[in-house]
A and B are shown apart, each in its own frame.
Chain A
């Protein structure tokens, strides 16, 4: 395959102006899969912020909410606090390994079907076809001089694109605030400035990336094809033109005139016409290919028309290509998918997922942390006792007020009281109510006899007094002055 040329290989390609890409409409299995995935991804994106989830009176009722102001992340029944951010990190790692898994199994399927750039570009291209017509009409219109008719069509198209772009940018911010309230604020002009700014930025990126830059984002801006291509191996399913079956090319008539001399490819260029990144798959695997497989649909349609078997362009592995070239049957798809590499990725991916679920099931919703006050470390009292003070933080991560008992243990003769209280009420425990979904900061004074080690360790503990219970403990140090 010496004739492999890549868009990025050509030294002159760097200087060339972009050639317009006018993908033709196509129908087939992969096109329908693409429709379905577009419907699902866009549906999830637009609808999610509007789902409600009853969390009681003390928490927002939005199912998925990134509450930056209060540093909370709500996802259905799960609430993530900032110190639990490792759940998000874990999900991101899962997303990464999921991509590895997907790529090693079915190549750059992410690029071809689920990448936002692909989904919105696809959507914009449908709008374009709806307004300008299919490929040939688009090319004609593009070459036509500017006039009222062309201007009207262009303005209509850009208007619809812009509307979609605004809806895209607008939907994003609903994840960060209560959606109905924010929507009302947006239309009444009272939403925060940052909301409008975010909408503007996302609108412009959607409009420009999806409408004008399209495949250039995939080929020149996105680092992902470089990384993904590195993760492919000869066992990965990728879109392959079976050149051993197709070459040399000839028209149907010519092939009929000279049976046995020519391959199956009739050089109809339909695979090029439907390609959203404007490449010719017959030049072999290349970086511009996002494996959306629309060329497979186009080729299969043509092959059916001319009465030749489907699959001249097909999902195949490089290993299959070698086998088929030598006349052997290809490896079954299932066997290709279930090989050590994919199974290892799947194992790691599920292990992290199970680990996260396990941690989620076992996490406590009550927490105590204590810090000794350093200035001064201790105070000598008139009766000779020593007092230390501690800044204590009690976390109530439930969405309701909770009664908690704070107690101390392990300091002989020690008693404590809250900063607002007086020593008269000193004891080894006290009870307080912590507000829902909040951190309560308190100062605790601890007094103990002078006699003892210079540094004593003891534990401050918190226990929830309601039915659900839960407790946590924190070790702290009690300091005494040096003996004179």
Chain B
């Protein structure tokens, strides 16, 4: 035991232990390995001086280079902002319709809008922008039915000012009376109106009830929804003759609607998101399949207002809040 000797064939010393006749050579580490090891030691000393390394009581040494991971992140974010700067300022400077006409800007806007949509809009409108489910009260942004207009300017106005936003003067606003709850119509009258609505939307055949409902509809509903129930975008009054129902087209759902009214609310984004992001969102939503062509001349007073009000709202978000609530 522990008899060190020189191994004949290799000329190397043994470590002196023997297990069942097997001895271990005390082969030195290769020189290249040792040199690499010394090099790493020297490197680590320099590294500890240059970078944050030694833990102290409540922080760590700062390092001679002043490097921090937060600083690196800030640099990377700044570099990214610089990279995106030109195309973002191009989007900011270009009118909505012109962005849509420019293939490159349009694609950037759609991608940027999709990202903003995922962060801000999916909670209500669903990740596919299809309103989570039919009848939920969150509009499907992909279909061809628009309550307040589906051209770029209308979508943009809706985004900036929101819908029935209680603390914002320029918000899109309309009120449907609660015909049943407020006693304007009795229970039978409500059912008659429901029958009429289901008849004009092709869900029921004309009946005595729907005939009675026609008169009630003309007296109470046609002001907003139009004589034929075709809706009015100025007031956000839905078209009652098509197949799309925001809150459902069943008798039960319609009874609810006529009795208690519906008041869908959407926050305004003009003061939360910057103008470029809102623009990109408008273009993204417009591109989802239901986007409408802009009207040749602005006949809709609200969209005309939108064009003028949008930059102002973005620049001075606090100002419109002082306006009187309608």
Answer whether A and B are interacting partners: yes
Binds A, one of B64-72, B139-147, B274-282, B301-309: B139-147
A419 and B244 within 8 A (CB): no
Query: B311 within 8 Å of A by Cβ?
Result: no
Chain B residues whose CB sits within 8 angstroms of the CB of A382 once the complex forms: 143-145, 239, 242-244
B289 and A387 within 8 A (CB): yes
Query: A466 within 8 Å of B by Cβ?
Result: no
A7 CB, nearest partner CB in chain B, Å: 16
A314 to B236: give the CA distance in the assembly, Å: 98
Chain A 273-290 against B: per-residue CB contact (8 Å), 1 yes, 0 no?
A: 000000000000000000
A379 and B130 within 8 A (CB): yes
A420 to B103: give the CA distance in the assembly, Å: 9
Q: How many cross-chain pairs have Cβ atoms below 8 Å apart between A and B?
A: 54
A383 to B201: give the CA distance in the assembly, Å: 10
A376 and B128 within 8 A (CB): yes
Chain A residues whose CB sits within 8 angstroms of the CB of B106 once the complex forms: 420
A8 to B128: give the CA distance in the assembly, Å: 67
A419 and B128 within 8 A (CB): no
Chain A 438-456 against B: per-residue CB contact (8 Å), 1 yes, 0 no?
A: 0000000100000000000
Look across to chain B and name the residue whose beta carbon is closest to the beta carbon of A373: B128
A457 to B187: give the CA distance in the assembly, Å: 48
B127 and A380 within 8 A (CB): no
Query: B9 within 8 Å of A by Cβ?
Result: yes
Chain B residues whose CB sits within 8 angstroms of the CB of A376 once the complex forms: 126, 128, 130, 142
Query: A375 within 8 Å of B by Cβ?
Result: yes
Look across to chain A and name the residue whose beta carbon is closest to the beta carbon of B101: A420
B53 CB, nearest partner CB in chain A, Å: 27
A208 CB, nearest partner CB in chain B, Å: 13
A479 CB, nearest partner CB in chain B, Å: 13
Look across to chain B and name the residue whose beta carbon is closest to the beta carbon of A389: B289
- Contact residues of A between 368 and 399, Cβ < 8 Å to B: 375-376, 379-384, 387, 389
A380 and B143 within 8 A (CB): yes
A11 CB, nearest partner CB in chain B, Å: 8
A189 CB, nearest partner CB in chain B, Å: 23
B128 and A381 within 8 A (CB): no
- Contact residues of B between 139 and 161, Cβ < 8 Å to A: 140, 142-145
Cross-interface CB contact of B289 among A375, A379, A383, cutoff 8 Å: A379
Known: A12-B9, A419-B287. A379 touches B145 (CB 8 A): no
Q: Bin chain A's interface residue count.
A: 10 to 19
- Contact residues of A between 1 and 54, Cβ < 8 Å to B: 11-12, 15
Query: B293 within 8 Å of A by Cβ?
Result: yes
B243 and A380 within 8 A (CB): yes
Chain B residues whose CB sits within 8 angstroms of the CB of A419 once the complex forms: 287, 289
Query: B10 within 8 Å of A by Cβ?
Result: yes
| Residue of B103, B244, B287 with most chain A CB atoms under a 10 A cut-off | B244
A423 and B144 within 8 A (CB): yes
Chain A residues whose CB sits within 8 angstroms of the CB of B140 once the complex forms: 379-380
Cross-interface CB contact of B143 among A11, A379, A420, A424, cutoff 8 Å: A379
Secondary structure class of chain A's binding surface, majority of residues: loop
B145 and A375 within 8 A (CB): no
Chain B residues whose CB sits within 8 angstroms of the CB of A383 once the complex forms: 242-243
Query: A328 within 8 Å of B by Cβ?
Result: no
| Residue of B106, B239, B243, B291 with most chain A CB atoms under a 10 A cut-off | B243
Chain B residues whose CB sits within 8 angstroms of the CB of A15 once the complex forms: 9-10
Query: B317 within 8 Å of A by Cβ?
Result: no
A67 to B106: give the CA distance in the assembly, Å: 29
B274 CB, nearest partner CB in chain A, Å: 26
Q: Bin chain B's interface residue count.
A: 20 to 34
Chain A residues whose CB sits within 8 angstroms of the CB of B290 once the complex forms: 379
Query: B134 within 8 Å of A by Cβ?
Result: yes
Query: A188 within 8 Å of B by Cβ?
Result: no
- Contact residues of A between 395 and 419, Cβ < 8 Å to B: 419
B73 CB, nearest partner CB in chain A, Å: 23
Known: A12-B9, A422-B291. A380 touches B244 (CB 8 A): yes
Chain B residues whose CB sits within 8 angstroms of the CB of A420 once the complex forms: 103, 106, 287
Look across to chain B and name the residue whose beta carbon is closest to the beta carbon of A14: B10
Chain A residues whose CB sits within 8 angstroms of the CB of B103 once the complex forms: 420
A420 to B287: give the CA distance in the assembly, Å: 7
Cross-interface CB contact of A422 among B9, B128, B293, cutoff 8 Å: B293
Cross-interface CB contact of A384 among B127, B130, B243, cutoff 8 Å: B243
Chain A residues whose CB sits within 8 angstroms of the CB of B10 once the complex forms: 12, 15
B144 and A381 within 8 A (CB): yes
Look across to chain B and name the residue whose beta carbon is closest to the beta carbon of A375: B128
A285 to B103: give the CA distance in the assembly, Å: 70
- Contact residues of A between 324 and 365, Cβ < 8 Å to B: none
B245 CB, nearest partner CB in chain A, Å: 10
B142 and A379 within 8 A (CB): yes
A328 to B122: give the CA distance in the assembly, Å: 90
B13 CB, nearest partner CB in chain A, Å: 14
B143 CB, nearest partner CB in chain A, Å: 5
B143 and A381 within 8 A (CB): yes
A381 to B244: give the CA distance in the assembly, Å: 7
B167 CB, nearest partner CB in chain A, Å: 33
Chain B 105-138 against A: per-residue CB contact (8 Å), 1 yes, 0 no?
A: 0100000000000000000001110100010000
B131 CB, nearest partner CB in chain A, Å: 9
A17 CB, nearest partner CB in chain B, Å: 11
Chain B residues whose CB sits within 8 angstroms of the CB of A423 once the complex forms: 144
Look across to chain A and name the residue whose beta carbon is closest to the beta carbon of B142: A379
Chain A residues whose CB sits within 8 angstroms of the CB of B291 once the complex forms: 422
B99 CB, nearest partner CB in chain A, Å: 12
A123 CB, nearest partner CB in chain B, Å: 27
A363 to B220: give the CA distance in the assembly, Å: 69
Chain A residues whose CB sits within 8 angstroms of the CB of B292 once the complex forms: 422
A381 to B289: give the CA distance in the assembly, Å: 10
A389 to B290: give the CA distance in the assembly, Å: 12
Cross-interface CB contact of B134 among A375, A380, A384, A445, cutoff 8 Å: A380
Look across to chain A and name the residue whose beta carbon is closest to the beta carbon of B7: A15
A445 and B144 within 8 A (CB): no
A381 and B243 within 8 A (CB): yes
B96 CB, nearest partner CB in chain A, Å: 15
Look across to chain B and name the residue whose beta carbon is closest to the beta carbon of A382: B242
A424 to B140: give the CA distance in the assembly, Å: 20
A423 to B150: give the CA distance in the assembly, Å: 13
Cross-interface CB contact of A445 among B128, B239, B243, B289, cutoff 8 Å: B289
A424 to B291: give the CA distance in the assembly, Å: 11
Chain A residues whose CB sits within 8 angstroms of the CB of B126 once the complex forms: 376
A456 to B144: give the CA distance in the assembly, Å: 23
Interface residues of A (CB under 8 A from B): 11-12, 15, 375-376, 379-384, 387, 389, 419-420, 422-424, 445
30 residue pairs bridging A and B, Cβ less than 8 Å apart: A11-B9, A12-B9, A12-B10, A15-B9, A15-B10, A376-B126, A379-B140, A379-B143, A379-B289, A380-B134, A380-B143, A380-B244, A381-B144, A381-B145, A381-B243, A382-B143, A382-B145, A382-B239, A382-B242, A382-B243, A382-B244, A383-B242, A384-B243, A387-B142, A387-B289, A419-B287, A420-B287, A422-B293, A423-B144, A424-B293
Which 6 A-B residue pairings sit nearest by Cβ, starting from the closest? Answer: A375-B128, A382-B242, A376-B130, A376-B128, A384-B243, A382-B145
